[in-house]
Amino acid sequence: MTAPHTGGCRCGAVRFEASAEPHHISYCHCSDCRRASGAPVSAFVGFMADQIALDGKALTTFENGPVTRSFCGICGSPIAYVDERLSNHIYFMLGAMDMPAYFRPTLHAHVREQLPFLHMPDDLPRHLRTSVPRPSSSNPGGTQS
Ligand SMILES: [Zn+2]
Ligand SMILES: [Zn+2]
């Protein structure tokens, strides 16, 4: 399968399309993603923002420091996050993709915060904190994958 890659929320009010392959696919175990998703672990597919078309009329956002998360204002599905320190990057929830099985994660981030009963026996690299260095990260406990 090749680009474009499409996705959206569960009610269909938010739709997006990426015209290129993702640059990043990861699991995130941080507590901020856990709160935002409600799930014990999250997974993200990262694209360049200028390769994305997003029909965002129904999109609602929540800012937490440098990170802005978006979700459908109608059905509540989490959609994506952007980090102002990572210009031109956008990270979609893997579960928001139309073909989620295509996007196999390549690493785990924030395993320091992984839940003790969650066992994921793979050989992927495990990062104690973030896997994407921020240019001037002053938030080491942070919210990023
Ligand atoms: Zn929706
Ligand atoms: Zn996270």
Closest ligand to 60 CA?
A: 1
Q: Which domains does the chain have, with CATH numbers?
A: 5-113 (2.170.150.70)
Question: How far is ligand 1, taken at its centre, from the CA of residue 27, in Å?
Answer: 23
Cβ atoms of 94 and 78 within 8 Å: the answer is: no
Reported as a single tens digit per residue, the pLDDT across 56-82 is: 789 999 999 999 999 999 999 999 999
3-state SS, residue 115 = coil
Reported as a single tens digit per residue, the pLDDT across 81-98 is: 999 999 999 999 999 999
Question: How far is ligand 2, taken at its centre, from the CA of residue 5, in Å?
Answer: 23
Query: With pLDDT > 90 as the criterion, what percentage of the chain qualifies?
Result: 83
What's the chain's average pLDDT?
92
Both structure tokens of 128: 């104690």
Question: How far is ligand 2, taken at its centre, from the CA of residue 125, in Å?
Answer: 16
What's the pTM value of the predicted model, to 2 decimals? 0.89
Of the candidates 37, 10, 7, the residue with the CA atom closest to the CA atom of residue 143: 37
